[in-house]
Structure 1
C-alpha cells in the first residue's frame, strides 16, 4: 500500500478494532499491529502517527505485554488510550498505581488545558467512557495534566515530544465527542489526509498485484460470497485472463449452491471459472471427526490439495505454471485465527488462515486481508459489481460443516441444507435478509421425542441463528418477528423428515461466536 497510515499497537483491548474503524471512517488508513511488533515492522507502514491501545494488564505486572518503549521516540505523534496512557507514564519516568476508586462506564471529564491540540473545539466538560482499574499517580518529566475526573488523571501531554494520552476511550460511541478528538489527532496533530478511499484502494491494490504476479498465473479460491468475489474481480482487473477462479464443491455447500454460483460468477462477473466437484473426498476426510478445530483444519488442507491439483492441470494443459493463490481473507478472519492482538487469544482457526497447511506450494495473495466486511462491500460497489452479490450474507468457508455439531455425514448435510434453505427463503420473504448480518440453521447432535400424526417421533433438533453486526467482531441476536419464527418452525418440522424440534439462539457475541463451531 502506497499511502501513509496510523499504526495502532494493540495491548489486548476489546476496543482495538474499534479504534481502527473510527480512523478508517475518516478516510485515513489504519493498521493494527501486536504491541510486540518490532520498530522495523512499525516503520514499514510509514506511520504518520502511532496509537497505543487499552489492555487488560497492569504495567507493573510481571507478564505485562513486552512492548518496545522506543516506539515513544520514533519522531511521530503518539496517542495513548487507557493502558496506553499508563504505558507512557510508566516508561517515561512517572508512576502508575492501582486506583483507589476504579472507573468503569460513564464518567465526566473536565479539561484542564482546553488549548491542547488534542482537545481543540471540544467542550470544557466531556461525557466519556472509562474502563480502568489503574491510574497515573505521578506524571513523567515534561508532561502536564490536560484533563481529569473527580477521581483520577484523565489526560496528559508533552507537546514537545509530540505525545498525548487520555485515560478514557474516545473510540466508543459512549464518548460523545470521541470522534472529534480522534480527528484532532489525525488531521491537526499528525497531518493526515483523508485520501484512503475505495477508488484509492482499488488503484493501489491493482498496481501492487500486477507488480507481484508479473507474468505469472494465479488461481482464486472462489466461494461465490462477497469476499472471494470482490477479491477475484480485483485480481482479474490486475492480471486479466491469467486468473483462473476455482469453485469447489466441498460437500457442505448450501442447497443447489454448486449450480447457482457457477451461473452467477460466469454470467454476472464474467470470471474464468473452473468448477470442481470434490464433495466425496471432503466428506470422506471429515468422516468420524467431531472436533470443530479438526474440521476446519481438514477442510483447509483439503482445499489446498484441490487447488494444487487444479494448478497442475493448468500447467499440463497450456504450460503456464501457477504460483499464486488468491483468497478473500478479511481482517476478522485474521484476528480470530491467530494472536495478532498482543496478549489476545486465538478464538478459532479459519479454514483460509489458521487452517492452512504449513507446506503450501502456492504463494498467497489476499488483497482484502486488512478490510472489514462493510469496507469490502464499498470496494465492490466502486468496482460496479451487482448489488445482489454484494448483499449476500456471510457464509463460513468450512460451510455447513461448522453448522453441523458432531460428525458430518451426507445424511446430516442433506437435513441441514433443507432447513437452511427454509430459513433463508422465509427471511427473504419477510423482507429482512438485507437488514440482518447472518441468518441460518444449525443441526444439533440432539434427538428428542415428538408426536406427529398420533405417532411417536425421535428426531434431530434444529437451532435458528440470526444476528445483527457491523463487522463480525461483535454481534447481537435479532428479535425476529414471532410470525416469521412460526413459519420457519412449521415448515422445518413439516417438510423435513428427520427434524422434529426447532429452537432459537438468543446469545450475543461475546460471549458466544456467530457460528456455533
Structure 2
C-alpha cells in the first residue's frame, strides 16, 4: 500500500489541467487526490494533508455563482498554493482586488522574480511560464508581497510567508512552464515539509482492495475489453480482486483497425486465460451510425449501444450487476463528468458522458483517476506484455471519430488500410515508441489529382502523430520528411480513392489529440 499518512490534495475549480497538478505531485512521490472545491473539511482532513493546492478554473472570481474559497480553509493553518484562478481566489477572499484588464495573457510568457524566495529556489530570475488568464490581481491582500511580475501581470506570483499562502498566475503543472516541476517541488518539500513516499506501482494493491470492497463477496463483473492497455489493466486488477466472477466481453463494433478484432481475441484468451466472450456487433453499430456526421451524436450512439450489448450479455451470466471500464482521468476531465461540477465539456467520451442515464449496470472504474503513464506502470507490475503496455491509445468510438462525417463500410475500409500503412512504417522506422499517439484521419474533403495522366477527384487522408507526457497537453511529432514522403506515396498508391495526404501540425491546446 502507498503511504497515505501524508498528502497534498488539490481542490478542483474546473481547470482542464486540474488533475495534471495531481499527476505532477505524484511524480514527486507525494500522494495527491483531486477533490471538489466544496469538499467538506472532514473529507480533506481524512487525507492527512500537509498543504492544499487550489486549481485554476474557467470562471471569474467576482462573477455571480463563481466557486468560492472554502470557509474552513482560511482558518485551517495549512500551507496553500493557488494556481491561476486559485491565486485570484486567495486574493479576493483575503481582501485583495481582482479585475479584468484590457490585455489578456494566453500562452508562453516571461516573468521576472522580485527577490529570492523558497518557492522559486534554484530557478532563474527570468523564466518562461505558461499563462492562460483573462483576469488579474490589481491589489494584494494585507500581508502578501509580489514574488514575480511581467509587463502584463504585475502580480505573476504572490506570497504571505507568515500564513504560508502562495499564488502563481501561471500554470506550473504544464510542461510549457520550464521550471514548473521545481516550483511544485519547492512548495511540497520546502514549504509543506512533505516526504517522497508514494509510488505509482503501489496503486495496484489499493485498486484491488477498492474493487473487492465495491463488488462485494458475491458480485459478478463484466469488463468491457477493447484490447488497449487501459481495459487490459482494469481487467487484470479486477481479476485479482474477484477471480472467476469476472467475465471479459469484447465487442467487435466494426470500427476497429485492420486485423484488430482477431488479434485481441487470440492474444487475450491465450495469454491471460480469463473468460472472454466475443460479440460480433458490426452491423448493429454501423446501422445505428448511418448518416450521422456530428461527433457528439456518434459518441453518444456508440456509448449507448455498448451499454445495451453489455446489459444483454450480463443477463446470460447470472445477471452480472457491474460493468467495468478502463476509463482514465483525461477522459473524465474532457467530458466534464458529474464528479467535476465546474468543468467545461470539451468533448464527450463514449464511456463517460456518453453513457445512457438509464443504464441497468453499476460502473466499476479502477483507473478513473489515473494517467496513462501510471496505468502503464501498473500494467508492468501486473505482468502485462510490453507490446500491450506501450500500445498507442485507441478511442472507444474507434474509427467512427477518425472519419470526419458519416461512417460507411467503404470509408472504414479506406481508413483502415491507410492507418495500417502509417503504423507499419512508424514501426519499421523504430519511431512507434517515440510517438505517444499516431493515426490516420479520413477527411470529408475531395480534391483534384493526376494519376496515370488522368484527372482524379478523390479522398484526402490526414496523418496525426504527437508526443506527450500526460495526454493533457501534446505537441505534434517532428517525423522525418523522408518517412512522411514514403508513407504518403504508399497510401496514394495502395489505397483506392485517395490522391492526397496531409500532416497535422497542431498542438494540444489549441487542438485536441483526436480530430473528433
* TM exceeding 0.5: yes
Whether 1:26 aligns to 2:28 is: yes
Q: Distance in 1 between matches of 2:84 and 2:416?
A: 47
Find the partner of 1:209 among 208, 211, 216.
Answer: 211
Q: Is the aligned partner of 1:274 residue 2:273?
A: no
8 Å contact 1:111–1:146 — kept in the other structure? no
Corresponding residue for residue 245 of structure 2 = 242
Contact 2:475 2:507 in 1 (8 A): yes
Contact 1:467–1:475 (8 Å) recurs in 2: yes
Between the aligned partners of 2:44 and 2:495, the Cα distance in structure 1 is 55
Q: Is residue 78 of structure 2 the alignment partner of residue 76 of structure 1?
A: yes
TM-score (norm 2): 0.89
Judge conservation of contact 2:201–2:374 (CA < 8 Å) in 1.
no
Mark the CA change 1:327 to 1:102 in structure 2 (over 3 Å): closer, same or farther. Answer: closer
Query: What is the aligned partner in structure 2 of residue 106 from structure 1?
Result: 110
CA distance in 2, matches of 1:359, 1:45: 34
- Contact kept, 8 Å, 1:111 with 1:124, in 2: the verdict is no
Aligned residue in 2 for 1:192: 194
> 1:33, CA displacement in angstroms?
3.7
1:418 CA displacement: 1.2
Distance 1:169 1:492 in 2: 41
Q: 1:311 to 1:56 in 2, by over 3 A?
A: closer
Q: Which residue of 1 aligns with 2:514?
A: 515
How much has 1:482 moved relative to structure 2? Answer: 2.1
Change (3 A) 1:43 1:300: farther
User: Which residue of structure 1 lines up, in the alignment, with residue 52 of structure 2?
Assistant: 50
Moved more, 491-500 or 286-295: 491-500
Query: Tell me, what secondary structure is at the counterpart of 1:268?
Result: helix
Superposed CA RMSD in Å reads: 2.8
Q: Show the counterpart of 1:318.
A: none
- Mean alpha-carbon deviation: is it higher for 78-87 or for 207-216? 78-87
Most deviating of 381-390 and 67-76: 67-76
> Measured at CA, do residues 40 and 353 of structure 1 come closer, stay the same or move farther in structure 2, by a change above 3 Å?
farther
**What is the Cα deviation at residue 39 of structure 1?**
4.5
Q: Deviations over 1:353-404 (max 9, x none)?
A: 0110111111111111111111111111111211000111111100000011
* 1:70/1:379 CA distance change after superposition, 3 Å: same
Higher mean alpha-carbon deviation, 47-56 vs 323-332, is at: 47-56
Deviation at 1:274, TM superposition (A): 1.2
Give the distance between the partners of 1:167 and 1:285, measured in 2 at CA.
47
Shift of 1:191: 4.3
Moved more, 350-359 or 446-455: 446-455
In the other structure, the counterpart of 1:308 is 311
Deviation at 1:351, TM superposition (A): 0.8
State the Cα distance separating 1:53 from its structure 2 match: 2.6
Tell me the CA shift for residue 79 of structure 1.
1.8
Contact in 1 for aligned 2:26/2:199 (Cα 8 Å): no
Residues of 2 paired with 1:474 and 1:40: CA distance?
Answer: 33
Q: Is the 8 A contact 1:51 1:79 kept in 2?
A: yes
Post-superposition shift, 1:281? 0.7
Q: CA deviation at 1:311?
A: 0.8
The residue number in structure 2 matching 1:367 is 366
Query: Per-residue displacement from partner, 1:484-506 (whole Å, max 9, x unpaired)?
Result: 22222222222222222222222
Instruction: Tell me, in whole angstroms, the C-alpha distance in 1 between the residues paired with 2:504 and 2:386.
Output: 29
1:183 aligns with 2:185: yes
Tell me, yes or no, if the aligned pair for 2:254 and 2:281 is still in contact at 8 Å: yes
SS at structure 1 position matched to 2:317: helix
How far has the Cα of 1:188 moved from its partner?
A: 4.5
Contact kept in structure 2, 1:20 and 1:30, CA below 8 Å? yes
Moved more, 60-69 or 205-214: 60-69
Question: What do residues 150-173 of structure 1 show as CA deviations (whole Å, max 9, x unaligned)?
Answer: 8745332253x5533345554455
Do the aligned partners of 2:130 and 2:176 also contact (CA within 8 Å) in 1? no
Q: Provide Cα deviations, 1:307-332, integer angstroms capped at 9, x if missing partner.
A: 111111112xxxxx411111100010
Residue 295 of structure 1 pairs with residue 294 of structure 2: no
In structure 2, how many angstroms separate the alpha carbons of the residues matched to 1:254 and 1:167? 43
Which of 405-414 and 186-195 deviates more?
186-195
Q: Which residue matches 1:337?
A: 335
Residue 444 of structure 2 aligns to a residue whose secondary structure is strand
Query: SS state of the match for residue 272, structure 2?
Result: coil
Distance 1:438 1:166, change over 3 A: closer
How far apart are the structure 2 equivalents of 1:474 and 1:170?
Answer: 13
Q: Using the alignment, how far apart are the partners of 2:213 and 2:146 within structure 1? A: 48
Matched, 1:227 2:226: no
Q: Is the 8 A contact 2:467 2:477 kept in 1?
A: yes
The change in CA–CA distance for 1:359 and 1:45 in structure 2 (over 3 A counts) is: farther
The answer to whether the 8 Å contact 1:20/1:32 transfers is: yes
Q: How many residues align?
A: 505
CA drift at 1:348: 0.6
Match of 2:266 among 257, 263, 267: 263
**Consecutive unaligned residues in structure 2, runs of 5 or more:** none
Give, in angstroms, the shift of residue 298 of structure 1: 0.6
Q: Could you say if the C-alpha distance between residues 62 and 216 of structure 1 is closer, same or farther in structure 2, counting changes exceeding 3 Å?
A: closer
Residue in 2 aligned with 1:147?
147
Match of 2:450 in 1: 451
Runs (5+) with no aligned partner, structure 1: 316-320
Preserved contact between residue 252 and residue 279 of structure 2 (Cα < 8 Å): yes
CA contact (8 A) 1:10 1:34 kept: yes
Displacement after TM superposition at 1:126 (Å): 6.5
SS at 2:9 equivalent: strand
